Amino acid sequence: MKMTGNTILITGGGSGIGAALAQRFAALGNEVIIAGRREAALQKTCAGHPNMHFMVLDASNPQAIDKFAHELVQAYPKLNVLINNAGIMRFEDLSKKRDLHDAEETVETNLLGPIRLTNALVEHLEHQPDAVIINVTSGLAFVPLVSTPTYNATKAAIHSYTDSLREALKGKVEVLELAPPAVQTGLTPGQEKLEGYMPLKDFIDEVMTLLAKTPTPREILVKNVEPLRFAERNGQYDETLAHLNDFVARQRGNK
């Protein structure tokens, strides 16, 4: 991936990983557009960065995505990088019948959102130099956190979708997957302060180093996520599953 001179769209750019990536890419000389639901958060992320811009987008709304994509390309015709980062994580109890609103909203945002936005922009990106699509998944795509089942499932689905997209766009658009471990962000309440979660700055430092490699790895995996990504390959799936769920329960005071 070329690290400077791009025009980059990052969804979910108002906070957390999306905001940190946006500011790092802007500092390298890229023009960066961030998108998300909360205008105030987007404005705050862009403040002090003249080459950063924002557009409001609800990634769970298919009509809004089509309109957004049209307006985006009109305003930024040199757009050549799409980072599908927007996502939500909800806790669910699978042991009892429940309202499925959280599960359905998670599928709309985490799975259908990236698919719809990629679909809306793919023909534009195919004709841009140095075009890249980065889909943000999760270590939980490979070993699940039992209390966030739909989140895990959407990330596993995006992992598979990314593999297909990479083959379909071979020679036209570089397709990468970024799979974070547990990072100190506001993805869930109180997560910014949980011990044992990777500090956001350390995560972004390692990610930017990996993205700058030649050739860029097709999966961007910081060291902290490797135990999850390779648990099954290494014959450690059951052990890793138990350790992961025990660790998170202890961090959140559930044990």
Q: What is the CATH number of the domain that holds 104?
A: 3.40.50.720
d(CA 202, CA 183) in angstroms, rounded, equals 9
Cis-peptide, bond into residue 215, ω within 30° of zero: yes
What is the tens place of the pLDDT at every residue in 75-97?
Answer: 999 999 999 999 999 999 999 99
What is the tens place of the pLDDT at every residue in 171-214?
Answer: 999 999 999 999 999 999 999 999 999 999 999 999 999 999 99
pLDDT at 18: 97
Instruction: Answer whether residue 21 is part of any domain.
Output: yes
pLDDT at 223: 98
Residue type present at position 34: I
pLDDT at 98: 94
Name the active-site residue from 76, 151, 161, 197. 151
Instruction: Answer whether residue 2 is part of any domain.
Output: no
Instruction: Answer whether residue 155 is part of any domain.
Output: yes
What confidence tier does 59 reach under pLDDT thresholds 50, 70, 90?
Answer: confident
Give the three-class secondary structure for 134: strand
CB distance 41 to 22 below 8 Å: no
Residue 37 φ/ψ, nearest 5 degrees: -80, -30
The answer, yes or no, to whether residue 255 has pLDDT greater than 70, is no
Instruction: Answer whether residue 1 is part of any domain.
Output: no
What is the tens place of the pLDDT at every residue in 213-254?
Answer: 999 999 999 999 999 999 999 999 999 999 999 999 999 877
76 has catalytic annotation: no
Instruction: Answer whether residue 198 is part of any domain.
Output: yes
**Residue 167: exposed, middle, or buried by beta-carbon count in 10 A (0-12, 13-18, 19+)?**
exposed
Instruction: Answer whether residue 164 is part of any domain.
Output: yes
Averaged pLDDT for residues 4-32: 97
Averaged pLDDT for residues 120-144: 98
The answer, yes or no, to whether residue 7 has pLDDT greater than 80, is yes
Q: How many domains does the chain have?
A: 1
Q: What is the mean pLDDT of the chain?
A: 96
pLDDT at 58: 87
Report which DSSP code applies to 82.
E
Instruction: Answer whether residue 166 is part of any domain.
Output: yes
Q: Which domain holds residue 83?
A: 7-251
Q: How far is CA 147 from CA 94, 165, 244, 249, in A?
A: 8, 29, 11, 9
